[in-house]
Amino acid sequence: MSKNVREVAVDVLLQIEKNQAYSNLLLNQTINKSKLDRRDIGLLTELVYGTIQRRDTLDYFLAPFVKKGIDKLEDWVKVLLRLSVYQLVYLDRIPDRAVVHEAVTIAKKRGHKGISGMVNGVLRSIGREGVPDIKDEKDPIKRLALETSHPEWLVARWVKQFGEEETRLMCEENLVSPAVTVRVNQTKATREEVISMLEADGIAAVKGELSEDALIIKAGQVFESKAFKQGYVTAQDESSMLVGRALGANSGERVADVCAAPGGKTTHIAEQMNNEGSVLAFDLHDHKVKLIRGQAARLDLSIIDTQAADARKLAEKFEPESFDRILVDAPCSGFGVIKRKPDIKWAKKEADIKAIQSIQQAILNAVAPLLKKGGTLVYSTCTVDKDENEETVEAFLAEHPSFVKDEDLKNRLPKQVIDSKRFKSGMVTILPQDFNSDGFFISSLVKQ
């Protein structure tokens, strides 16, 4: 018997809870394998992302109604209750009685009569009595963490780095579904031409507001369109598109992208070079390098060569001063893309940040000798954490006096980014609420 959409949602959430699977990858795999119709795919996505995004808030709501404690429940029961309370509190279009009925039916199939009775009792009690009011929490950090369902340590860290108001805006923005954006392959067509192509496929798109390469998809399945299959567009957030612009590669140059998978920025660099010159793309794992090759082939970009390699050991493969430009889009905590990958905020711990920062610094130190004098080194991350961003760059500059901040970076980024209060000499942080895009950090350094 095939499973209904809520049973499938419980399966996906359980794998994320137990195995720390990546929500976006697991959801895509599940959708591809399942025989759910398009409306149910929309509901499945809402249920999975919504339940993960609101996890701690849902547990706060459940706590008074689960006498033995939420942590003592079996994982599948905990997930089922969270999923059900998410629907009761946040999805007006689903009647409460339907939510309870579906949850009890799933509990009967998976467990025994006692568990289904407990699920029924908890959900009916919540329906009668309502959920507790978060405003009763006195501590402002804890209250903000509960209201926006973020780890308390992360909220406290952001308040120290950005202040309470910016932190609130960032946490609230992280709960908003991200826009679907694509980058136009301008070696093949203009944005206007691609908009017309998409319209012919029944897809509504408008120009992006931040990147000159971006389209925002308003309606339709762009990744099933001819324009996508024939390499006219590729999936990329608008903030991420600014990294390629910041690097500023020209036709005929030799460029290295040292942490390149899945290849979004690599292919953007090749497009900006008009597919003339060479781009060497590296990543640690073969299966990730294959993703870069696949992207390059679909976009008809022939100047990209790929290798599985550790960026910290590239000096063993290349002579000093081998490249005109180098991109280090470094491994990071990913706190700028929480609205796209909500499980990140639960998977990462504060202690992880120092460990990641040491890898970032090791990569920068390793690739520095490979850049030609006068060349450009761009360091970027999809996190907003200052230790991984500004502090990493400043530590690098202190160790490498031949590098200076790139004063020309302002000529390669959009005016609204330059005019933002977060642009500084040679670097900029974009918070998710600034342009409703991903959070990003971009810095550009020049070797003298």
382 annotated active-site? yes
263 annotated to a ligand binding site: yes
Q: What is the 3-state secondary structure (H, E, C) of the chain?
A: CCCCHHHHHHHHHHHHHHHCCCHHHHHHHHHHHCCCCHHHHHHHHHHHHHHHHCHHHHHHHHHHHCCCCHHHCCHHHHHHHHHHHHHHHHCCCCCHHHHHHHHHHHHHHHCCHHHHHHHHHHHHHHHHHCCCCHHHCCCHHHHHHHHHCCCHHHHHHHHHHHCHHHHHHHHHHCCCCCCEEEEECCCCCCHHHHHHHHHHCCCEEEECCCCCCEEEEEECCHHHCHHHHCCCEEECCHHHHHHHHHHCCCCCCEEEECCCCCCHHHHHHHHHCCCCCEEEEEECCHHHHHHHHHHHHHCCCCCEEEEECCHHHHHHCCCCCCEEEEEEECCCCCCCCCCCCCCHHHHCCHHHHHHHHHHHHHHHHHHHHHEEEEEEEEEEECCCCCCCCHHHHHHHHHHCCCEEECHHHHHCCCHHHHCCCCEECCEEEECHHHHCCCCEEEEEEEEC
259 is in an annotated binding site: yes
Residues ≥6 apart with Cβ < 8 Å to 72: none
Q: Token digits for 358?
A: 């040491």
Asked whether residue 262 is marked as a ligand-binding residue, the answer is yes
Any binding-site annotation on 171? no
320 labelled as ligand-binding?
no
Is 324 annotated as a binding-site member? no
Q: Which of 126, 273, 280, 382 is catalytic?
A: 382
- What does the alpha-carbon distance between residue 110 and residue 297 come to, in Å, rounded to a whole number? 45
Residue 261 assigned as binding residue:
yes
| Residue 329, marked binder | yes
Q: Which residues pair with 380 in a beta bridge?
A: 329, 442
Q: Two tokens at 60?
A: 């706060």
Which residues are annotated binding-site positions for S-adenosyl-L-methionine?
259-265, 283, 310, 329
Which residues are annotated binding-site positions?
259-265, 283, 310, 329
Catalytic residues: 382
